[in-house]
A and B are shown apart, each in its own frame.
Chain A
Amino acid sequence: MIDVADPRVDTATPSLVGSGPLAAVKAGARAMWWASRTGLADFSIIFTVWTWLFGWGLRILAQVLFYLVIGSLLGPGQGEYLMIGNTVCLMAVHSLLASASLTWERQNGTLPLLVASPTPPALVLIGRSLFWIPDGLVCAMAAFVILGPVAGVHFTAAALGWTALLLVLTGVSCYGLGCFLGSLMLVVPDLRNVVGNGMVTVLMILCGVNFPPATLGPVAHAVSAYLPLTHGLTAIRMTLDAGGASAAVGRQALLEIAVGSVWLVLAVVALQVLARRSRRDGRALFQQ
């Protein structure tokens, strides 16, 4: 990422990677920073301010409103339950778009270069789609603020602040799953949208978005505990009920972090295995 012709770079200084754990962390952070900026550049090509506001933004509001009115038709209190569930689910919708955007590197033809570089490709690939998390946060907060009063949800400032924090946490956790799926999609990129969309719908079924996780029986309930979104959504429902955070909210938040971390570790392992295999057999395109 550093231009060797750049006069600002002092070629006499030691290697950027250096040695020791601190230098490695710094180099990794630098790689991820540049990767996230690359992703942001992609995002600015996909959307202009106008297409985001009057295209994507309106669609997101329509999506939450769609479930809100279903809840209102189902019975008292259901509109609020579905509105909160589907608004928080927007974090999963956005974070799981990473399963598709991870494959862009392959479509752009830059994957072989990444595999050949000394930087772990996992760092770049994971950093590249981070932009979905702030995008999801803006959408979810907008849905809360605009549609919350329609559903009869009234927030205190403290509850809204905690909710924003928990949304970020939920988004990061779901991002782990999105990256894991994306790592698998590098091998079968034509399934990227099918798998991403399918998994979002599975999360809608299992994680308490539209009905409590226990609704579909004990097995489904047990599975939901190991999926991102479940604990984050529970924490947000608790926060909005109580008007602020509590020890129980903190416990759910920690569980959400734990689940998301496991999925992120799985993503890193999968990406490293694929990269190593590609280097070993010379097929630096992650093809089967």
Chain B
Amino acid sequence: MSLFVAAARLQIGQIFSDRDYTIELVRAPLLAVVFLALVRQADRPDLLANALLAPILMALFGMALSISGEIVDADRWMGLLEPTIATPVPFPRLVLHRIVTTTLVSLIIAVEVCLVSIAGFGIVPVVHHPWMFAVVAVLTLAAMVGWSLLMSALFVATRTARTFQNTLSYPFMLLGGVFVPVDQLPGWMQPVGRLVFLSWSSDLLRDAMAAPPVTSVAARTGMVVLLGAAGLGLGLLLLRRVLRRVRATGTLGLR
């Protein structure tokens, strides 16, 4: 527990001391205005859940890309990597704790979007299946942690974090069905989209907000868990391999 507290303090300090990291906190409420105005202007109240969830999921993924993804790379820049790796604490565990902290901080975005909806559009978000919504939200955050670790390891392995950060956002938002469900995307995109855990999460979260009963819950939540675990497993594997390589070649602090 003390490790988590220390990691969380370090991570929260980094997030709020670098104002560049607040980008999603600024952008998400503005995107909420875009989507809510779109739905109102098109007179499609049935798409309200899509408009509310899209900016939250986009920002959640954005923070995973820009903050969690940069953890190892940023540590290397700041000269924190060497002393951290030299401590007896397993490095992947420390990174995971910091990623969990970032993911929890990104929950501020959900509050922001709800405030925009209520104060700006007079719409109070309604969740018809709150328990289902809570369970799927937790699983989505857990899966995001897994994929954040993979991105963190990938960025440091390839040393092209910025290229990935600039490239991955919209393709993942599209394939993750954050606004338009994957089964309504062009046919060739659907199988690819189903490999992105967000596509299962966003469908389930939208269904949990709607009145009709949610169907095939076990299989669909199982896919979120499975794909999240795949991200986590690959991330751990890659991070350990990167650590082994930089130790063997003596290039830990070198870029």
Which of the four size classes fits the interface of chain B? 20 to 34
Q: Are A56 and B166 in contact (CB under 8 A)?
A: yes
In the assembled complex, the Cα of A62 lies from the Cα of B174 at a distance in Å of 7
Shortest Cβ distance from residue B249 to the other chain A in the assembled complex, whole angstroms: 25
Q: Which of the residues A66, A190, A204 comes within 8 Å of B18, measured between beta carbons?
A: A190
B160, closest chain A residue (CB): A51
Interface of B is mostly: helix
Within 8 A of A (CB), among B11-38: 18-20, 22-23, 26-27, 30-31, 33-34, 37-38
Chain A, residues 174-209, CB within 8 Å of chain B (1/0): the string is 000000000000001011111001100110110000
Which residue from B27, B167, B173 sits with its C-beta under 8 Å from A201?
B27
Q: Is residue B84 contacting chain A, with contact meaning CB distance below 8 A? A: no
Residues of chain A contacted by B22 (CB below 8 angstroms): 194
Other-chain residue from A70, A75, A197, A205 in contact with B37 (beta carbon distance below 8 A): A205
Q: Contact check: which of A55, A194, A205, A211 meets B19 at CB < 8 Å?
A: A194
* CB-CB under 8 A for A56 and B167, given A73-B184, A191-B20, A210-B37: yes
Please determine whether B26 and A194 come into contact, CB atoms closer than 8 angstroms: yes
The contact of A216 among B37, B163, B184, by CB within 8 Å, is B37
When the two chains form their complex, are residues A197 and B39 in contact, meaning their CB atoms are under 8 A apart?
no
The reply to whether A202 and B30 form a contact with Cβ atoms under 8 Å apart is yes
Q: A205 to chain B: which residues have CB within 8 Å?
A: 30, 33-34, 37
Within 8 A of B (CB), among A49-79: 51, 55-56, 58-60, 62-63, 65-66, 69-70, 72-75, 78
Determine if A59 and B23 form an interchain contact, defined as CB atoms under 8 angstroms apart.
no
Which one of B44, B169, B173 lies within 8 Å of A74 (CB-CB)? B44
Minimum C-beta distance from B197 to chain A (A): 18
Are B163 and A190 interface neighbours, CB within 8 A?
no
Residue from B42, B174, B184 in contact with A78 in the complex, judged by beta carbons closer than 8 Å: B42
Judged by a CB distance under 8 angstroms, whether B87 is at the interface is: no
Q: Least Cβ distance of A34 to chain B in Å?
A: 26
Known A69-B174, A201-B30, A210-B38; judge A51-B184 contact (CB<8 A). Answer: no
User: With A and B bound together, what is the CA distance between A59 and B44 in angstroms?
Assistant: 28
Query: Inside 8 A of A201's CB, which chain B residues have their CB?
Result: 27, 30-31, 34
B42 touches A74 (CB 8 A): yes
* Interface residue ranges of B72-119 to A (CB < 8 Å): none
Tell me whether A190 and B38 are in contact (CB under 8 A).
Answer: no
- Which of B31, B41, B173 interacts with A215 by CB under 8 Å? B41
Set B41, B44, B166, B180: member contacting A211, Cβ < 8 A: B41
Contact partner of A210 (CB less than 8 A), chosen from B34, B180, B184, is B34
Q: How far is the CB of B185 from chain A (nearest CB, A)?
A: 6
A70 touches B179 (CB 8 A): yes
Which B residues lie within 8 Å of A65 (CB)? Answer: 174
A192 CA to B185 CA in the complex, in Å? Answer: 34
Chain B residues in 8 Å Cβ range of A63: 170
Q: How far is the CA of A190 from the CA of B20 in the complex (A)?
A: 5
Closest B residue to A190 by beta carbon equals B19
Determine whether the beta carbon of A75 is less than 8 Å from that of B42. Answer: yes
Q: Mark A249-284, 1 if CB is under 8 A from B, else 0.
A: 000000000000000000000000000000000000
A19 to B93, CA, bound (A): 67
A12-49 interface mask toward B, CB cutoff 8 Å, 1 = contact, 0 = none?
00000000000000000000000000000000001000
Determine the chain A residues whose CB is within 8 A of the CB of B27 once the complex forms. Answer: 197-198, 201
- The reply to whether B171 and A58 contact each other, CB–CB distance below 8 Å, is yes
- Say yes or no: A193-B23 contact (C-beta < 8 A), given A58-B167, A69-B174, A74-B44: yes
Cβ–Cβ < 8 Å partners of A46 in chain B: 162
Distance between B202 CB and nearest chain A CB, rounded to angstroms: 13
In the complex the two chains form, is A70's CB within 8 Å of B170's CB?
A: no
B47 within 8 A of A: yes
CA distance in complex: A194, B18 (Å): 11
Provide 27 A-B residue pairs closer than 8 Å at the C-beta atoms, listed in order of the A residue: A51-B160, A51-B163, A55-B166, A55-B167, A56-B166, A59-B167, A66-B179, A69-B180, A70-B38, A70-B179, A73-B47, A73-B184, A74-B38, A75-B44, A190-B18, A191-B20, A194-B19, A197-B27, A198-B30, A204-B30, A204-B34, A205-B30, A210-B34, A210-B38, A211-B38, A211-B41, A216-B37
Contacts A78-B42, A194-B26, A215-B41 supplied; 11 other A-B pairs, CB < 8 Å: A59-B166, A62-B171, A62-B174, A70-B38, A72-B180, A73-B50, A73-B180, A75-B42, A190-B19, A201-B30, A201-B31
Report B's interface with A, CB cutoff 8 A: 18-20, 22-23, 26-27, 30-31, 33-34, 37-39, 41-42, 44, 47, 50, 160, 162-163, 166-171, 173-174, 179-180, 184-185
| A contact set with B: CB distance below 8 Å | 46, 51, 55-56, 58-60, 62-63, 65-66, 69-70, 72-75, 78, 188, 190-194, 197-198, 201-202, 204-205, 210-212, 215-216
